[in-house]
C-alpha cells in the first residue's frame, strides 16, 4: 500500500513539473520564450482565441435539456432578457 501511494505521488509530481517546464512564457521585459527557453514569436505565447460567435451552452431541441453543442438536434441556449 505504501509503495502504491509513493508511486502515485511520484507520477503526480512528475506531471506537475513537466507541464510547467514545457509552457511558453513571457518574461519581465515582455519577450516571449518558447518551450526550449529561446526567444519566440509572440504568437507562440498567446492563448488560442475562442470563436466569439460560438455558443457557450446548447440544449436539445425536443427535450430542452442541456446537451453538447456538437450533438445533432441541438440549439444554442437563448440569452436572458435584461
Residues of 12-30 as b/e, b for ≥16 C-beta within 10 angstroms? eeeeeeeeeeeeeeeeeee
Per-residue model confidence (pLDDT) at position 53: 62
CA distance 27 to 15: 23
- How many Å from the N-terminal Cα to the C-terminal Cα in the chain? 56
Q: What are 9-66's pLDDT values in tens digits?
A: 766 666 555 444 457 788 888 888 888 888 888 887 877 666 556 667 899 999 999 9
Q: Which of 44, 20, 47 is nearest to 32 (CA)?
A: 44
Amino acid at each position: 500500500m505504501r509503495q502504491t501511494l509513493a508511486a502515485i505521488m511520484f507520477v503526480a509530481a512528475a506531471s506537475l513539473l513537466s507541464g510547467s517546464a514545457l509552457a511558453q512564457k513571457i518574461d519581465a521585459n515582455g519577450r516571449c520564450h518558447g518551450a526550449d527557453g529561446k526567444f519566440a514569436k509572440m504568437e507562440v505565447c498567446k492563448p488560442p482565441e475562442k470563436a466569439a460567435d460560438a455558443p457557450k451552452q446548447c440544449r436539445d431541441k425536443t427535450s430542452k435539456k442541456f446537451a453538447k453543442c456538437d450533438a445533432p438536434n441541438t440549439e444554442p441556449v437563448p440569452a436572458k432578457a435584461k
